[in-house]
């Protein structure tokens, strides 16, 4: 289960683990499409056969990149945000 909490971050729950994260720093331009972008980034990670926590990081970066952009995020914007993503296992 992947749950967006908007400006408060997100939660990712697997069968065995729970992860939580805030959002990277950036200026909100529009949240339209951010949730869809988050899912898209997560699925991109699954397609690349990455570990689930890495898929979650890609989802956060993708959703945030869209929120900080006019229209949808670019791959480059998403990649630049990855270094700011900090997830915590709870």
* DSSP-derived 3-state class of residue 5: coil
Token pair of 72, please?
């949808």
Residues 90, 17: contact at Cβ < 8 Å?
no
Q: Which residues are catalytic?
A: 36
Distance in angstroms between the alpha carbons of the first and the last residue of the chain? 15
Cβ partners under 8 Å of residue 38, min gap 6:
2, 4, 10, 59, 60, 62, 63
């Amino acid at each position: 289960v992947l749950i967006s909490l908007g400006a408060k971050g997100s939660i990712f729950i697997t069968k065995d683990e729970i992860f939580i994260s805030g959002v990277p720093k950036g200026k909100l331009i529009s949240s339209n499409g951010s949730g869809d972008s988050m899912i898209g980034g997560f699925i991109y990670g699954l397609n690349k056969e990455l570990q689930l926590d890495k898929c979650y990081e890609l989802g956060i970066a993708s959703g945030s990149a869209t929120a900080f952009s006019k229209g949808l995020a670019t791959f480059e914007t998403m990649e630049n945000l990855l270094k700011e993503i900090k997830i915590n296992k709870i």
